[in-house]
Structure 1
Amino acid sequence: MTNNRYEGVIKVNVFNTSQYILEVALNRDKVESFNEYPFSIPAIVKLNEIELHPHVTFFVGENGSGKSTLIEAIAVAFGLNPEGGSKHFTFSTENSHSELHRYLVLRKGIKRPRDSYFLRAESFYNVATNIEELGIGYVYSDKSLHHQSHGESFMSLFLHRFLGKGLYILDEPEAALSPMRQLSLISRIHELASNNSQFIIATHSPMLLSYPNSYIYNIDNNGINRIKYEDTDHFTITKNFFNHYKMMLNELMKLDE
Structure 2
Amino acid sequence: MSRPTLAVRRVRGDEGEPPPRGSWFERVPAVAQVLRDGWTLAPVTVLVGDNGAGKSTLVEALARAFGMAAEGGSTGSRHVTRETESELWRHLVLERDLGAPRRAFFVRAETMHSFYTYLEDNPGGKPEPQFHRISHGESILALVMDRMVKPGFYVFDEPESALSFAGCLALLTHLSGLVADGSQIVLATHSPVLAAMPGADVCEVGEWGMRRCDWEDLDLVRRWRGFLDDPGRFLRHVLGGGTVD
TM-score, normalization by structure 1: 0.87
Q: Percent identity?
A: 33
With over 3 angstroms needed to count, the CA separation of the structure-2 counterparts of 1:33 and 1:222, relative to structure 1, is farther
Residues 97-246 of structure 1 aligned to structure 2 (within 5 Å): 97-136=85-124, 140-141=128-129, 144-246=130-232
Report the Cα offset of residue 212 of structure 1: 2.2
Q: Given the superposition, is the C-alpha separation of residues 192 and 155 from structure 1 closer, same or farther in structure 2, using an over 3 Å criterion? A: same
Shift of 1:139: 5.1
SS of aligned partner of 2:240? helix
Distance in 2 separating the partners of 1:92 and 1:135? 16
Quote the residue 1:8 is aligned against.
none
SS of structure 1 residue aligned to 2:74: coil
- In 1, Cα distance between the equivalents of 2:148 and 2:20? 39
The 5-angstrom pairing of residues 22-37 of structure 1 reads 22-28=9-15, 30-33=17-20, 35-37=22-24
In the TM superposition, residue 37 of structure 1 has moved relative to its aligned partner by 1.2
SS in structure 1 at match of 2:203:
strand
Q: d(CA) in 2 for partners of 1:139 and 1:41?
A: 42
2:101 match: secondary structure: coil
Q: Name the SS for the 2:187 alignment partner.
A: strand
| Deviating more after overlay: 61-70 vs 111-120 | 111-120
Letter in 2 for 1:181: G
Contact 2:45 2:185 in 1 (8 A): yes
In the alignment, what sits opposite 1:65? 53
Task: Say if 2:8 is the partner of 1:21.
Answer: yes
**Per-residue deviation, 1:36:** 2.3
Unpaired stretches in structure 1, ≥5 consecutive residues: 1-14
Q: How many residues align?
A: 239
Q: Per-residue displacement from partner, 1:105-141 (whole Å, max 9, x unpaired)?
A: 1111112325210111111111101100012395542
Aligned partner of 2:30 in structure 1 is: 43
TM-fit CA distance, 1:44: 2.0
Please list the CA deviations of residues 16-66 of structure 1 after superposition, one character each: whole Å capped at 9, or x if unmatched.
562111111122563255532122222222322111112x10111111111
Query: Is contact 1:25-1:49 (8 Å) kept?
Result: yes
- What is the identity, as a one-letter code, of the residue corresponding to 1:36? S
Paired letter, 1:39: E
Note the C-alpha offset of 1:249: 2.1
* TM-score relative to the length of structure 2: 0.91
CA-CA distance at 1:250 after TM superposition? 2.3
Contact kept? 1:139, 1:161, Cα under 8 Å? no
Cα distance change on mapping 1:249 and 1:24 into 2, 3 Å: same
Alignment CA distance shift 1:22-1:245 (3 Å): same
- Residues in 1 aligned to 2:197 and 2:217: alpha-carbon distance in whole angstroms: 14
Q: Quote how far apart the aligned CAs of 1:226 are.
A: 1.0
SS of 1:129's equivalent? Answer: helix
What is the identity, as a one-letter code, of the residue corresponding to 1:113? P
Q: What is the Cα-based RMSD across aligned positions, in Å?
A: 1.9
Preserved CA contact (<8 Å) 2:7 2:102: no
| Conserved 8 A contact 2:176-2:198 | no
Q: Secondary structure of the equivalent of 2:107?
A: strand
